[in-house]
Amino acid sequence: MKSLIIKSYKQNLQVSGDGNLLSRIVKNPFFVKYIPSVLSSKMTSQSSNVIQFNLRLKISNSTCFDFDQKCATYSFSESSETTIKDIITIIDYCFDYLRAKDDVYCLHASSSVFSIRSVMFIGGASGIGKSMVNMSLVRNYNYSFLSDEKTLLENHSIVGGLRSFIKNKEIHQSMELNLETKHLGSIRNKLFLVVQPVTCIGGEVYLEKWPVQKAEWHLYEELTRKIRGISRRVDNFTIPIQSIDTYELSRKRSRFANELATCAKFYTIYGDPNKVAEKINQLVLDL
């Protein structure tokens, strides 16, 4: 039995299991592409007393995820359809629990910053234009890129996330997604503007400002998706993983959503991706 110590932002956990399996996990490119703000990972033969949480990987007759507040066990059969990617998603699921305990939240979002004003793009569905509009701001308006796909929030600030654009849609094929170092903004930027883009090539721009109550409602929903395992399934998307939320964590999350809804400005902006980016830049400069 070996242990893998992983740190993501401020949180750390220990994954225990077969040494060869753990080695395959950290060597898989999906490891750093999926878990946001991974700062370190190291193999050890000893357990650590300072670790916040322990995830045990166990070979069994069937796939099962047993969760407690200090540890979890992910059991799977060697003949099952469980993949290394499945295990990595379970690791990040445990991180979602640790983040929530520390008032850190991971959203399906893209973000960038101009001066000290950061912009975050939200929206549950893929393909609505979050990454495209963000990339347009970086390329055409001198914004600094912060995150894509996953964004970490703490104290109403963007503090981490996946630090590269994820090229996974046909609409991205014409975009140059390689970022130079000068395009990367320093992490920890107060959230200024939250936008749900709804893009259509050639579309005219239409802007809808959200009242605080609407912002609270959507924020709580977005903040809740991951810790309740809304889309969390393994074994070729055939076995759902149960929620790891608690009432205490949901109360904290509700307070966070209420506070953030009054601190930042929220909009839905419809239209062509480049025109939406232009409108956002105007808002950042004028508000």
Model confidence at 113: pLDDT above 50 = yes
Query: What is the per-residue pLDDT across 141-177, written as a single tens digit (0 to 9) for each?
Result: 999 999 999 999 999 999 999 988 766 555 454 444 4
Q: Which fold has domain 106-224+250-286?
A: Rossmann fold (3.40.50)
pTM above 0.75, yes or no: yes
47-53 CB contacts, 8 Å cutoff, 24+ apart: 47/3, 47/14, 47/16, 48/3, 48/5, 48/14, 50/12, 51/5, 51/12, 51/13, 51/14, 52/11, 52/12, 52/13, 52/98, 53/13, 53/14, 53/94, 53/97, 53/98
**What is the widest separation between alpha-carbon atoms in the chain?**
61
pLDDT band at 250 (very low <50, low <70, confident <90, very high): very high
Q: What is the pLDDT at residue 49?
A: 59
Q: Which two tokens stand for residue 151?
A: 């964004």
Query: What is the per-residue pLDDT across 35-54, written as a single tens digit (0 to 9) for each?
Result: 999 987 888 776 665 678 99
**Domains of the chain: which residue ranges?**
2-102, 106-224+250-286
Rounded CA-CA distance 72/57 in Å is 9
Rounded CA-CA distance 45/173 in Å is 44
Rounded CA-CA distance 133/175 in Å is 11
Rounded CA-CA distance 237/216 in Å is 31
User: Of 126, 184, 191, 136, which Cα lies nearest the Cα of 159?
Assistant: 191
Percent over 90 (pLDDT), the chain: 78
